[in-house]
Amino acid sequence: MNPTYAPPRPPARTTGDIARGAGALLAVVAFTVGVPVILGVVAPLRRPRISATWDSLPGALTRADDGSLLLVVITVIAWAAWATFTTSVVLELIATARRIPAPSLPMLRWAQRSAAHLVSTAGLLLSTAGPVIAATAQPIIAAPAPETGVARPSAVMGAPAAMTGSPDPMTAKPTTATATAGGMAGHAIPMTGGPAGPAATTQPVVTVTRGDTLWSLAERHLGTGHRYTEIRDLNLGRAQPDGNTLTDAHWIYPGWQLLMPPDATALPTATPGPPASRPATTHEVRPGETLWVIAATHLGDGSRYPEILEANTGITQPDGSTLTDPDLIRPGWRLTIPTATSPHAPPPVRVTAPAAVGAPPPSAEVADTPVGAGSPATSVRPDIDRGADVPYASIEPFDTAQAAVAGDDVDREDTAAVARLFLGLTGLAAVGLIGELTRRRHLQHRRRRTGQRIALPAPASPADHAERTLRQASTPLTIPQLKQALQNLASRSYTAERDLPRITTLLLSQHTLELHLADADHHPIPPFEATSPTTWAAPTTALVQDEPAERDPACPEPYPALVTIGHTDDATVIVNLEAAGTLTITGDPTAAHDTLRAIVTELATSDLTGRIGLITGPSYANLAAAIDPTRLQCADVATLPTQHDARRPAIASVLEGVGADDTLQARSDRTGDDTWLPVIYVHDHPADDWAPPAPWSGSILLTTGSLESAPWTIDVPSHASARLEPADLAFVPQRLTESHLADLVDLLSTAATPDADAGTGQPVPTGTDEPTAALHALPPPAHVDHRNQAGTPETFALRINLLGPIEIAGLPPSPRPLGRRSTELLVYLALRGKATGPELDEVLWRGRRVDNQTRNSLLYRTRQRVGAHNLPPVDPDGHYRLGPDVTSDWEDFQHLARAAYRSEEQRIVHLQGALELVRDRPLAGLSGDDYTWADHDIQEIASAVVDAAHILATELLTTNDTGGALSAATSGLLAEPCSELLYDDAIRAARVRGDTDRAHRLEAHLRTTLENLDPDYVA
């Protein structure tokens, strides 16, 4: 039977609340009652005294109006406006009473918003606070208290329910989590700071688990999803275990503890847990102390510092930060010191959320079935025995939310990530270059032959180091998201019959995108809001969630010449070169040329500026040789003024013909199409007769020379912050040295699309059949194959799935999810077989220098979570390896592929088994700065999967199994969507089976894919 709870006491209403509520109530009454009374007096609706006929209609339309028609129109509009608003108020009242979202009326969103605001504000006057009901001690399920054992009042205090809310509560990527109750069974937890009296009851609490949303929690515990607003209002702004809080965006994360209304049902059942510990003590960090010293003082052994680390990881400290690095603790922090278990303490309660009625079993339960036992895939894997008796306890997909819940050891450097340079480039510039590299590698796969491997930089080479450094970059908005936000701004401006905002600079911080305008504009386009006469701002979360504007294929690229120039303390600085017209970079000559070199490289590689013309002098010839000619051209600098002089009157003539003042206005009016895409000239020392291009003139000049008539300048000292004028903005400039540019040119050249006859990667000898070529191309096993060894039933055998999103199966049961860096450690060892300590430091900490204590702490926590048999201690030779029973789907794939290529009789069966393991692109779903070391592995796996899919499709076509061939090709395209070889196999299979429609769709999809990747592609 579920325990009962007293309702929480809402906070007392203030005088301001009452005043606002009274004002809103008066406004509702005035609009709904007063307006029709006034209209009935001054503008009543009357029936016409003369009935109209068809014969009288021409005369009525042609005779002069005496003003009566205008009065009739005004009267109809006034009554219609009243009816619209009144209808919205009635709907909002009904929806509020029923606790459901109000239905959306087409074209009446403005009226519904106003009505919702007034009704919800009036609710402040009508809401009442219920009395506090005292209760005797009852069995409760309370929110877990902090490790210090002190219950926070905020954990049990509620808030009055709001009367409106979004109908679409969302959840972040979930994970499995359990929690312990905050108090002992049979005892209520008193609220600190309250008056003395009977023990106060606490509200029910649920722990967010995999797949939960506010709506689903309301359905499960309150009987209807429409009551999600009550859960939201109880928890808005309430601190959660990971340090975050619930906001109006409605994102909830696994592991969060959410207060529930008192009438919540189907609450987690309490099951006996392990013996309770004595109340933990708290230690305040003093200057000079380390975790080792604290452990030696309180626990008697300094080597037990990981216990203190684990007990405090992720807990918010008084200064607002959290413990993530065992080598970094600050004076004033309050750390929980774990104590030994007391045999006399009453047992605590462990809370486990029940599964929803009728819901399918979670993936963790699916993994309980031993692989190969009764599985349909068993028939195609006859030689694989993973140990049917080995229990697979859980499957944990890797995601960021999981790491946050676990109090993971990943450094949280959100602001620092924005304010960092990578090889001297900003994060956006680095991400743009990696995007270009990814595009080229897809094109390499397009023409790759069976048994080949695409060309990649040599391991540990300068180009390889440059790529791994660039992959560390992350941005609050991806380049597609930033472009979509600006595209939405353009579409909505055009719909509202407004010119495009004259954006001069943009500041992208971790949480906000600011647009700085040339002219004052107090009427921003949503979701932007005006923060000053010349500044609009929008949260990055709002821009990510903003739906693309209605289909608008005619919308031009609104701001095609955006480029980053550096960063402030918390934001990336982006300049609209069109607004500058001419940008002069002055200061220290070396620093100025480095900054110009960085800007040119970004313009030539980033998709943020993918449709402009860029013309430089011979100093960028090496970069131009590695870049598509449509992106960058080199010319004699002496001809640049001539080219500009020829372009300038041509653009001016077109502008005059369409009646536009400049290219931005013409782009706003959508006239001239691509005529308004700018051409950027790069000239180190322009002659005196060079006329500097004006803003939005269709031409742009970048120079390190001196031009008195150019107001836009960047002053770059040798070792100090730069300054952008006329914005008066100080920032750290991006600077790319000649040696780093050479590394990037080498990287891009390696990834250049090969000719049809060019061999890349491993050459395939002439006359070699495809199975033999594919066999020789497979990498050697990462570690010894242990498939013939039987697993021990009492241990959990770990399985690491890499042929799709990362999954770690077979984890021992634990309420603590596997941390993000721990997951990366396991994946690295699964792919590489072994690693030394310094190698782990390089890949897991992105080259940042860490000491042995930090690495050992990670290994200790990971070993505690996965079991020592799955991650043994370091070998005598100094290498870390996974345990002999650990398997991976990539390892199984290679085993089956080798068997298939060696046995013609069993080839089809083995290859079908191998391809059944493929779920998506290898290591799919990684964020930008995750697994910076893994791209070589991803390319290797993708090539091996494509080879297997092509060979299987070919074999099946010879047996006239067109359906199987089509399925094989499709499986391969999951791993590499640009393989022309697999598209040919799929199209051929579709045509042989007579499915011409599918063949045409495949051809169209291939054409679209290649057109997006290759500007020179011709079908």
The sheet with strand 269-272 has its strands ordered as 179-180, 349-352, 269-272
Residue 334 and residue 291 share a domain: yes
Residue 246 and residue 176 share a domain: yes
Residue 945 in tokens: 């999967």
Residues 206-249 pLDDT 10s: 888 756 778 778 878 888 877 888 888 888 878 777 667 787 65
**Cα–Cα distance, 284 to 148 (Å, whole number):** 12
**Cα–Cα distance, 259 to 687 (Å, whole number):** 71
Weakly modelled stretches of the chain, pLDDT under 50: 1-12, 127-201, 270-278, 340-396, 398-416, 755-761, 786-794
Q: What is the DSSP string of 946-977?
A: HHHHHHHHHHHHHTT-HHHHHHHHHHHHHH-T
Residue type, 313: T
The pLDDT, as a whole number, for residue 688 is 66
Residue type, 644: H
Residue 251 and residue 159 share a domain: yes
Answer whether 535's CB lies under 8 Å from 516's CB: yes
Domain boundary among 856, 887, 918: 887
Distances in Å between the Cα of 607 and the Cα atoms of 467, 480, 623, 633, 678 are 18, 8, 17, 17, 15
Residue 423 in tokens: 């090889």
Answer whether 119's CB lies under 8 Å from 25's CB: no
Neighbours of 216 (CB within 10 A): 16
Residue 655 and residue 526 share a domain: yes
The pLDDT, as a whole number, for residue 253 is 76
Q: Which residues pair with 573 in a beta bridge?
A: 507, 566
Supply the CATH number for residue 314's domain. Answer: 3.10.350
For 446, the 3-state DSSP assignment is: helix
**Cα–Cα distance, 210 to 848 (Å, whole number):** 33
Is residue 96 included in any domain, yes or no? yes
Residues contacting residue 410 through CB under 8 Å, at least 6 positions apart: 324, 403, 819, 820, 821
Is residue 768 included in any domain, yes or no? no
The residue among 602, 629, 605 whose CA lies nearest residue 615 is: 629
Residue 121 and residue 185 share a domain: no
**Cα–Cα distance, 849 to 842 (Å, whole number):** 8
Give kind and range of the element (H or E) at residue 205.
strand 205-207
Tally the domains of the chain: 6
Residue 184 and residue 116 share a domain: no
**Cα–Cα distance, 850 to 842 (Å, whole number):** 9
The pLDDT, as a whole number, for residue 79 is 84
**Cα–Cα distance, 687 to 706 (Å, whole number):** 10
Buried b (16+ CB within 10 A) or exposed e, 925-950: ebebbbbbbbbbbbbbbbbbbbbbbb
Answer whether 950's CB lies under 8 Å from 966's CB: no
Alpha-carbon Rg for the chain, nearest whole angstrom, is 33
Is residue 449 included in any domain, yes or no? no
The pLDDT, as a whole number, for residue 899 is 94
For 231, list phi and psi in degrees, rounded to 5.
-65, -45
Supply the CATH number for residue 931's domain. Answer: 1.25.40.10
DSSP 422: B
Residue carrying structure tokens 């860029």: 614
| pTM (2 d.p.) | 0.61
Residue 170 and residue 86 share a domain: no
Residues 598-609 pLDDT 10s: 999 999 999 998
C-alpha angle 341/342/347, rounded to 5°?
90
Residue 679 and residue 654 share a domain: yes
DSSP 227: G
Q: What is the DSSP string of 567-592?
A: E-SSEEEEEEHHHHSEEEEEESHHHH
Beta-sheet strands, E only, within 299-445 = 334-337, 349-352, 395-397
Residue carrying structure tokens 């949260």: 539
Is residue 925 included in any domain, yes or no? yes
The pLDDT, as a whole number, for residue 55 is 66
Name the CA dihedral angle for 809, 810, 812, 815, rounded to a multiple of 10 degrees: 20
Domain boundary among 743, 765, 799: 743
Residue 301 and residue 260 share a domain: no
The residue among 362, 381, 361 whose CA lies nearest residue 373 is: 381
Is residue 769 included in any domain, yes or no? no
Residue 503 and residue 624 share a domain: yes
Contacts of 122-126 with C-beta under 8 Å, sequence gap 24+, read: 122/21, 122/24, 122/25, 122/28, 123/21, 123/96, 123/162, 123/163, 124/13, 124/17, 124/18, 124/20, 124/21, 124/24, 125/17, 125/18, 125/21, 125/22, 125/24, 125/25, 126/21, 126/25
**Cα–Cα distance, 945 to 918 (Å, whole number):** 8
**Cα–Cα distance, 306 to 297 (Å, whole number):** 14
Environment class of 149 (CB within 10 Å of its CB; exposed 0-12, middle 13-18, buried 19+): middle
Please state the three-class secondary structure of 637-686 as a single string. Answer: HHHHHHHHHHHHHHHHHHHHHHCCCCHHHHHHHCCCHHHHCCEEEECCCC
Is residue 437 included in any domain, yes or no? no
Is residue 462 included in any domain, yes or no? no
Residue type, 9: R
The pLDDT, as a whole number, for residue 403 is 40
Is residue 642 included in any domain, yes or no? yes
Q: Which residues pair with 270 in a beta bridge?
A: 351
Supply the CATH number for residue 645's domain. Answer: 3.40.50
Q: In 835-959, which residue ranges form alpha helices assigned H by DSSP?
A: 837-844, 852-866, 889-902, 907-916, 935-958
For 610, list phi and psi in degrees, rounded to 5.
-80, -10
Domain range for 915: 890-1013
Residue 330 and residue 382 share a domain: no
Residue 584 in tokens: 């002069």
Residue 866 and residue 982 share a domain: no
C-alpha angle 113/117/118, rounded to 5°?
120
Residue 44 in tokens: 């009543």
Q: Sign of torsion, CA 658 664 665 667?
A: positive
